[in-house]
Structure 1
Amino acid sequence: MAENPATEIRGRAVRFDRYGGTEVLHVADVPVPAPAADEVVVAVRAAGINPGEVAIRSGALHERWPATFPSGQGSDLAGVVTAVGGGVTELAVGDEVLGYSWQRSSQATHVAVPATQVIRKPPGLDWPVAGALYVVGCTAYAAVRAVAPEPGETVAVSAAAGGVGSVVVQMLAARGVRVLAIASPANADWLTARGATPVPYGDGLAERLKAAAPDGIDAFIDLFGPEYVQLAVDLGVARDRVETIIAFAKAAELGTKAEGSTDASTREILTEVAELVASGTVDIPIAATYPLDRVVEAFTELERRHTHGKIVLIP
């Protein structure tokens, strides 16, 4: 077993001690973890942030995913292995990796995670992209898989220029699907360049979607909220081809799908997504990077919900 030379060194990690807004976030001094037998310790180079973390921290998901306090935060991570547990044979100190934590712990200088939750980082990926890949990549993969699109079909996507939406649009386009990309007009050029048909959100959206797809919409992927799940059903999309990653109560009410990253969290899928990004088939745009100390600013920007691409913390 490799010894961890930083056992007595203090690290730093994002914490919150109660539910609330961004004001509850702070960065605390914490022990650098030592690996369990099946774990590796990663010195984090980049950690993406996600809307789901906002919902958890606010208490909106308390019934589904309750927090215990003090709570860490974050799933996405990329960095360099600094220690390995005695049962780990496939990774070594110095390996560059990307992956995820299910312990709300990746927004930190160091994190211990099971070796099965990281893969080697493809050489062509820079750190911010690698550190932003897991949640958006695997969530997009699950969402696309949930509606089973076929070449030539028409699929509508809400929040199409956001972190997950940007990836969903490109995965669909790569399959030969016609994508109706619901987003701000400011993102129209980016979406058009990636093979999508932009459709501005707001009043009159249903009529604009009908005009863009006079023969009907085959599937609908919602990445924003319950009003879009309802809209999809109102437009006549079959309920088993309506998917949401966020509106769980509405999905249960209407009998639609609600699959997310946990439904696609395997090394095989993560590797496939990483290869799509490394090859240039899928681009993960980075909207902004922030040092760990500016985590409040990073989430303030994210919560405006008009960010094109990912926001990443750089510990």
Structure 2
Amino acid sequence: MKAARFSRFGGPEVLEIVDLPDPHPGPGQVRIAVRAAGVNASDWKKRQGLMDEELPQTMGYEAAGVVDELGAGVTDVAVGDRVFGFSTEGAAQAELAVLSHYAPIPPSLDFPAAAALPAAVETATRALDQLGVAGGSRLLVNGASGSVGSAAVQLAVARGARVIGTASPANHAYLRSLGAEPVAYGEGMAERLRALEPEGVDLALDVAGSGVLPELIELAGGPEQVLTVADFAGAQKYGVRFSRGDAGRALHALAGIGELTEAGRFSLPVARTFPLAEVAEAHRVGETGRVRGKLVLVVG
């Protein structure tokens, strides 16, 4: 099979498409013929050598496609079913991928839209669970217009929370369409938020890592009310919780997102698609940080 891989750390130019042996599923796993695979910030961190030192490495943790082989004990899907989910081996950007956690693709979604879901939905759900976001919560999402941020907004709204989201003015109409009250980020953000909520908020989630943890702590009433998925150094400095997947993932989110999607209460835009052979260009675009929505590789 064809797969994205790198054999040395560096910029997007180190990525290559290589021939690798076909994988096969173990117990409880399924193999899919990949139709689309998501691209994430963790991909270029991995490529830059910021995740681990192993070489060579394959790429990609989320994919959507058609089941073509079942592992032992799998009875909840059949060969030919459309599914999306996680490749724990980090090899989803390929013609074939083994998924350890998966769910049926919502009927209204195509493969690229389904491939955009797993990482953003899991990260957002995990963060909301750890913060204890529930009906009546007043939640501030810093970086609300990106993939994880917009997922967090919609999932929090579905829980009955009031959500305020920071974004550039160009994205304010988009946040309103998701059910959030927008606030411009940058200098004066805290004052603008207090104009909407004079008493501040109950909880704050940082998905942007933009150095605003002190302001979030002030607005939420203490570091214990704040969680970040993007600012590890800041979390250590200010005593804020940092959420990472290796401490336990919210994999239940995959099974639940279909109902919200079909009810018209959740969507995650695909900003742009690329052929698998153009994975390096997808990295270049993603690393600019100016993409609203998901970047997805189309396979086959």
What corresponds to 2:293 in structure 1? 309
- Aligned pair partner of 1:54 in 40, 44, 52: 44
Contact 1:14 1:108 (8 Å CA) reproduced: yes
Q: Structure 2: which 5+ residue stretches go unaligned?
A: none
Aligned-partner SS, 1:46: strand
Q: TM-score, normalised by structure 2?
A: 0.92
Contact 2:217 2:225 (8 Å CA) reproduced: no
Code of the residue aligned with 1:292 in structure 2: it is L
- Aligned pair partner of 1:132 in 116, 138, 153: 116
Residue 257 (structure 1) aligned with residue 241 (structure 2): yes
CA shift digits 1:98-124 (9 cap, x unpaired) = 11012110011111233xx12222322
Tell me how many residue pairs correspond in the alignment: 298
Matches within 5 A, 1:158-169: 158-169=142-153
Residue 241 (structure 1) aligned with residue 225 (structure 2): yes
Residue 232 (structure 1) aligned with residue 216 (structure 2): yes
Aligned-partner SS, 1:264: coil
What is the CA distance between 1:197 and its match in structure 2? 1.4
Contact 1:164 1:223 (8 Å CA) reproduced: yes
Contact 1:220 1:237 (8 Å CA) reproduced: no
Q: Structure 1: which 5+ residue stretches go unaligned?
A: 1-10
What corresponds to 1:8 in structure 2? none
What corresponds to 1:3 in structure 2? none
Q: TM-score, normalised by structure 1?
A: 0.88
Aligned-partner SS, 1:31: coil
What corresponds to 1:6 in structure 2? none
- Aligned pair partner of 1:218 in 196, 202, 206: 202
Matches within 5 A, 1:92-241: 92-114=78-100, 117-225=101-209, 227-235=211-219, 237-241=221-225
Distance 1:278 1:72, change over 3 A: farther
Contact 2:33 2:67 (8 Å CA) reproduced: yes
Taking the aligned partners of 1:30 and 1:196, their CA distance within structure 2 comes to 45
Aligned-partner SS, 1:166: helix
- Aligned-residue RMSD, C-alpha: 1.9
Aligned-partner SS, 2:235: helix
Structure 1 residues 218-227 or 149-158, which shifts more? 149-158
Residue 293 (structure 1) aligned with residue 283 (structure 2): no
Distance 1:35 1:152, change over 3 A: closer
Distance 1:158 1:91, change over 3 A: same
Taking the aligned partners of 1:97 and 1:132, their CA distance within structure 2 comes to 12
Distance 1:91 1:151, change over 3 A: closer
What is the CA distance between 1:23 and its match in structure 2? 1.9
What corresponds to 1:4 in structure 2? none
Taking the aligned partners of 2:65 and 2:220, their CA distance within structure 1 comes to 45
Taking the aligned partners of 2:191 and 2:255, their CA distance within structure 1 comes to 40
Distance 1:212 1:18, change over 3 A: farther
Code of the residue aligned with 1:273 in structure 2: it is I
Contact 2:134 2:156 (8 Å CA) reproduced: no
Aligned-partner SS, 2:129: helix
Divergent runs of 4+, >6 A: none
Distance 1:58 1:212, change over 3 A: farther
Code of the residue aligned with 1:139 in structure 2: it is T
Contact 2:84 2:114 (8 Å CA) reproduced: yes
What is the CA distance between 1:147 and its match in structure 2? 1.8
Code of the residue aligned with 1:96 in structure 2: it is R
Taking the aligned partners of 1:90 and 1:176, their CA distance within structure 2 comes to 31
Distance 1:113 1:236, change over 3 A: closer
What corresponds to 1:70 in structure 2? 56
What is the CA distance between 1:247 and its match in structure 2? 1.4
Taking the aligned partners of 1:72 and 1:96, their CA distance within structure 2 comes to 23
Taking the aligned partners of 2:120 and 2:47, their CA distance within structure 1 comes to 19
Taking the aligned partners of 1:89 and 1:202, their CA distance within structure 2 comes to 51
CA shift digits 1:263-305 (9 cap, x unpaired) = 3343x33101232223221111111111111111212121111
What is the CA distance between 1:226 and its match in structure 2? 5.7
Structure 1 residues 160-169 or 125-134, which shifts more? 125-134
What corresponds to 1:42 in structure 2? 32
Taking the aligned partners of 1:82 and 1:15, their CA distance within structure 2 comes to 23
Distance 1:92 1:21, change over 3 A: same
What is the CA distance between 1:142 and its match in structure 2? 1.0
What is the CA distance between 1:34 and its match in structure 2? 2.8
